[in-house]
Structures are given as C-alpha cells and as structure tokens.
Amino acid sequence: MSNQNPGRCPDCEGELSVVDGGQPWCTACEWNLTVYDPQVLPPRGWLWLERWGHGVATRLDNRLFTENHRSPAERSHWTAARVLLVAISTVLVLTALGCLIVGGMLMLRDFPSIWVVPGLGLILLGIVLRPRFGRGPRKRHRLRREQAPVFFALLDEVASAAGAPVPDSVVLASEFNASMARYGLRGHHSLSIGIPLWLVLTPQMRVALVAHEVGHLVNGDPSRGLLVEPALSTFRRFAEATGAERTLGYVFDADRGGNRGIGQLLFELVLWVISRVFLLIHIGLSALGLREHQRAEIRADAVAAHVAGSEALTALLDRSALSDVITTAIGHAAETKPPLRWSELADRLHQGRTAEMTQYRQLTQRGTSLWSSHPPLGLRSSLVESWPQEEPTVALTASQWTQIDEELRPWYTAAHRAVLGARDYRPDSEATIR
Ligand SMILES: [Zn+2]
Ligand SMILES: [Zn+2]
C-alpha cells in the first residue's frame, strides 16, 4: 500500500487507499473497491478477459459471502457446474475407451492389412485422451513418522478432531504455501506444508493451517474428484500440444525459421486457431471447476475454526494477506536471525499493521479473479469473523512445539539457506544468547 495521498472519498469524505498509481478506493464505505485495477491484478493473457473475469468473480464472491455469512453453508452435492463437468468428463472417458476398442478391432481386421494405420491412430488418440490420476510424492521426499513423531501426533490429533482420515503422505515443501493433493486411482492424499510459511506462524496458526488442509478431506472436494479430472485437464493438454504459447506475432514473424512456404504458414495459422479454441474451452471449464473448489475452501475453513479456534484461523488468514510484507522483511532479516525467530518478527509486523488490516483484506478482494483457486483471503477472514466464535479443540504445549521444531530443524536450515541465497549468515548477539 503506498503512502501518497490519493485524496478523499466522493461519497463519505473518508480517506482513500491506492496501490502504486492504480485506482483509489475507499476503505470506509468501499467506494470504487470492485473496479478492475491492472496494478493489483495484472492481466496474464488477454486484458479484456482478465477485466471481464474480475467483474464476474466479484459478483460470485459477493454471492459466496452471502451464502456463507453467519454460518458456513452445507455442502451441495450437485451444482449445475458440477453436472456439466461430470458430463464432459464422462464423454471424454467414453471417447478414450471407444478409440481404444475400435482401434484394436481395426488393427486385428485381416491382420496385417492397411487397417493397421487407422487402428493405430485411434489407439494413440485413446492413449492421449485417457484420464490421469496423478502420482504421489516420491518416497524419499516424504516425511516419515519416525523422523517426526510429535509432528505426526499433532497431525493425528487434528485429523481426529476434524473427523477426517490422516493423509497418506506428508511432504515438507519450500513454498510459502500449504496444500492437499489427491493422487492414484484409489484417491490417496498428500499433505504439503511449505516450511517458509510454517516458520512465520504462531503455534496455534500452525494448528489452523494443518486443520484447514485436513478439512479438505472431511466433505470431499468435488473439484478434485476423479469424476471431473478429465474435463479440467484434457483441454489444457490439447491447447499445450497444439502450441498455446505461440502468439500470432510469432506465427507471422518473418525472421523465424528461414524460408517458410505459404503452406507452412497456413498450417501454423490453423494450429494457432485450434489451440485458441482449446484454450478458451479450458479457461471456461477451469473457471467452473475453481468456483466449485472455492466452496470447498470455505468448508475447510469451517473445519479449521472448529479444530484450531476461530481466532487462530482469522489470524492465519490475515497473516497470509500480509505475506508480501512478511517475506520481504524475512528476506532482509535472514542474514542475522535464525529461522526460529522469524515468527516473532512476523508477529511484530502483523501487530504493527492491525489498524490497516481492513485495507489489506480489501486489497485481496480487489485482486479477485475467475481463475483463483481460493476465495480472497479478506473475504475468508470476514466470513470466519461472522460465524459463531469457537474455542480451540486442539492445542499443544510449549514443550511439544519445541520438540516439533527440533524434528523439523533440517528443513528449517534448508529454508534458511534458500532465503539467504549467496549471502552469509552472521547471527546478531541477541540471537546467539536465546
Ligand atoms: Zn467512502
Ligand atoms: Zn484449502
């Protein structure tokens, strides 16, 4: 948030907020809050599409907020979007199966004969169209129970309080993020905890983080199910295979590829059109799928509020909204402060911005997009605050947290090295005394 004075709100005379020369908005009455601001949400492809998507997303966010205000909505199993995604997936799977069967029959017809050619073609098409189930993390990347018994005890306790199964594998990642992924035909689950994020959280926020991810296993996440996977990934693969990254400028670039004939140019042009069609279909379907996923995020938040307490969850969401501020500060502090002190630093930064928290929450709403997997953080924290406040069900003792920190120390050190890059670590005296 920049400090330049953008003036006063025309509606309520309140102070305006603005991001680096973008469009101002009013924190007090939300005047101009929902306009599209490329400064906050730079277009990833077509500007018109991003602007349109932002407008639709803002309306859908409002609806999501209304649906979940005061109490989280029950899971609705069959929305129109889900019916469409499942229907498309079914057609794709049946087509793949049909290609394989008919291809095989053609191959065998009067074998060997000219029928081998179309037969082989159909079989290849069937292979390309087949549904993918994803692979789990490699064994050597997984955190083993004996490496971190207290951490796993926390995971067990959270899963039991949430009424969820314990994830099949755990990975400690280097992102400022956490996630739950599904893999394999039988639907195994892998929990990924980003250590850089983990390190800037208070103990109870960490419980909320794990509880949110485990919360995804309670009500099921319809957008991750096997039934919708083909619809959500096939057209992306087709767009990539036909050269989605090629722009028209690239196709017409005369300096490229020496002497291309008119035939080759036409071929590339047709391919360009085909890839755009696939891309548009994919963009449309993923917008539907991601909105389904957003509802699952709210339900996971409801589980997290129950397990870790509403206060810790709101604090976690607000802290995530401050991630840019925090990661920048950690980047500087890493030279003198060990990872075990990063959460203190984040606490101070967070407390120093309590008065501006509404602005930071509004900023996340301003950055909303039809292609976000998560509802804006500000919308989520406001929803959690509107629900009946819950006390924590799971809370660890200080000595248990010390044990967890000890178990995860090698990953903390690795995260520290990654932040430092080529710089040296020179601990200040305060840090060495501890
Ligand atoms: Zn105003
Ligand atoms: Zn989530």
Report how far ligand 2's centroid is from the alpha carbon of 118 (Å). Answer: 45
Residue type present at position 314: T
The closest of 36, 39, 32, 37 to 55, measured between CA atoms, is: 36
Ligand closest to Cα of 215 equals 2
Cα separation, 29 vs 16, in Å, equals 10
Provide the CB-side half-sphere exposure for 432 (13 A, CA): 6
Report how far ligand 1's centroid is from the alpha carbon of 35 (Å). Answer: 14
The closest of 60, 73, 85 to 369, measured between CA atoms, is: 60
pLDDT in tens, 166-211: 999 999 999 999 999 888 888 889 999 999 999 999 999 999 999 9
CA distances from 398 to 143, 154, 395 (A): 22, 13, 10
pLDDT in tens, 78-98: 888 889 999 999 999 999 999
Report how far ligand 2's centroid is from the alpha carbon of 209 (Å). Answer: 9
Q: Where are the beta strands (DSSP E) in 122-208?
A: 169-173, 178-183, 188-194
Residues with CB under 5 A from ligand 1 (ion): 9, 11-12, 14, 26, 28-29, 31
Report how far ligand 1's centroid is from the alpha carbon of 352 (Å). Answer: 24
CA distances from 341 to 121, 223, 430 (A): 60, 38, 11
Tokens describing residue 274: 């085909």
Report how far ligand 2's centroid is from the alpha carbon of 300 (Å). Answer: 6
Report how far ligand 2's centroid is from the alpha carbon of 148 (Å). Answer: 24
The closest of 197, 182, 185, 219 to 76, measured between CA atoms, is: 219
Cα 361 from chain centre: 18
Ligand closest to Cα of 10 equals 1
Ligand closest to Cα of 11 equals 1
pLDDT in tens, 283-324: 999 888 888 888 899 999 999 999 999 999 999 999 999 999
CA distances from 281 to 61, 294, 407 (A): 22, 20, 46
Report how far ligand 2's centroid is from the alpha carbon of 179 (Å). Answer: 6
Mean per-residue pLDDT over the chain, rounded: 90
The closest of 320, 319, 343, 318 to 330, measured between CA atoms, is: 343
pLDDT in tens, 231-260: 988 999 899 888 877 887 888 776 776 667
